[in-house]
Amino acid sequence: MAVTLEQAQRVGYTCLKALLRFAFMVANNLVAIPSYVLYLIVLQPLRILDSKSFWYIEGVLFKWLLAMVASWGWWAGYTVVEWGDDVKAVSEDEAMVLVNHQATGDVCTLMMCLQDKGTVVRQMMWLMDHIFKYTNFGIVSLIHGDFFIRQGRTHRDQQLVLLKDHLEKYYRSRNRKWIVLFPEGGFLRKRRETSQAFAKKNNLPFLKHVTLPRLGATQVILKTLVAPQENGTLSGGDLLRKEGKSKGLQWVIDTTIAYPKAEPIDIQTWILGYRQPTVTHVHYRIFPVKDVPAEPEALTSWLYQRFIEKEDLLTHFYETGAFPPPQGQTKAISREMTLSNLWLVAIQSLAFLSGGMWYCLFQYLYHCLF
């Protein structure tokens, strides 16, 4: 079929736009990430003198970096509509966020929709596949204290021990509040067939839009971060409040990401912007951690039930274009998530100004020394 002039122009415009966006992303990374690292190197004396202030500043810089990633999608028209519980209400509490995993764009979506949730982004810890350690953002995540988990049965036990040690060493010492993980252990397209075979063998529900989650990381997080309880209350509760110590993990936020027509956005699309503007839908359910069972068998059933419910939510969404209303209500209420373009321009400008400042400083030092 012959290509019309209009179609050729449209393709040409899309390719040019993608090229310009890619060039901007590369330039952005070349100034923003080194600036983040250099600022924190200069602030190492503060880390020794006042660790709390150091990690506060690091968290602010980290949030700005994630906002830059969010801006690439936001300016391409990849926006978010939120459903279900309002997680802003628990933004200052400790929470574990369980998310279904379809593509690399899931992380970018979370980076965007959590930007307006108070201090969450700067005080959160991510659990992600170890391969991300070797991306351009890997050095940032390493400094921030995220945990890179290696998948596979042969590594599983060792990784869970390392995760426990990591949480004990970094989570509270850096004043982290939210921890984000993808319990399915991989992308939907890669794990669906294996998960369905496991479900059939063990007489579990057949799932199309999610896979059965793995227990390990969730169990370690709950065991490590939930405060000890005595008679249904936090051990030493009054003392904890007086001393300002952590109350422990208080909430589990079940987060379900849905893409129109079940077509997820990947990181390449997020960067290049060649897909038409798309609204991603994110649904939240908040569970008190006291309602989450601790015993492995009961926790497994509880976790499976969350993903069976995700399957129902996604089935309803793909059939109707909306998530179902909460139990006992007749209508589901959605909320458009918004970002300030002025704020995004400001932090992008600050990144390039920082890059220029560091370049001039190193040029000056070079001329002074040589």
What contacts 227, CB < 8 A, 6 or more positions away?
Answer: 234, 235, 240, 246, 247, 248, 249
Question: What are the pLDDT tens digits along the chain (370 aa)?
Answer: 566 877 777 878 889 889 999 999 999 999 999 999 999 999 999 999 999 999 999 999 999 999 999 999 999 999 999 999 999 999 999 999 999 999 999 999 999 999 999 899 999 999 988 888 888 889 999 999 999 988 777 778 899 999 999 999 999 999 999 999 999 988 998 999 999 999 999 999 999 999 999 999 999 999 999 976 533 444 444 434 444 466 899 999 999 999 999 999 999 999 999 999 999 999 999 999 999 998 999 999 999 999 999 999 999 999 999 999 988 788 888 999 999 999 999 999 999 999 999 999 999 888 888 7
pLDDT at 328 (0 to 100): 77
**Hey, what are 164's tokens?**
């426990």
pLDDT at 1 (0 to 100): 54
As a dihedral over the C-alpha atoms of residue 87, residue 88, residue 94, residue 96, rounded to 10 degrees, the angle is: 30
pLDDT at 327 (0 to 100): 81
pLDDT at 3 (0 to 100): 66
Q: Phi first, then psi: give them for residue 38, nearest 5 degrees.
A: -70, -40
Q: What CA–CA distances, in Å, run from 125 to 14, 101, 143, 218? A: 36, 17, 11, 14
pLDDT at 234 (0 to 100): 43
**pTM of this prediction?**
0.90
Contact between 88 and 115 under an 8 Å Cβ cutoff? The reply is no
Give the C-alpha separation, 252 to 287, whole Å.
5
pLDDT at 7 (0 to 100): 75
Q: What CA–CA distances, in Å, run from 366 to 26, 33, 34? A: 26, 22, 18
Candidates 183, 214, 211, 213; CA nearest to 195 is: 211
Give the C-alpha separation, 161 to 155, whole Å.
10
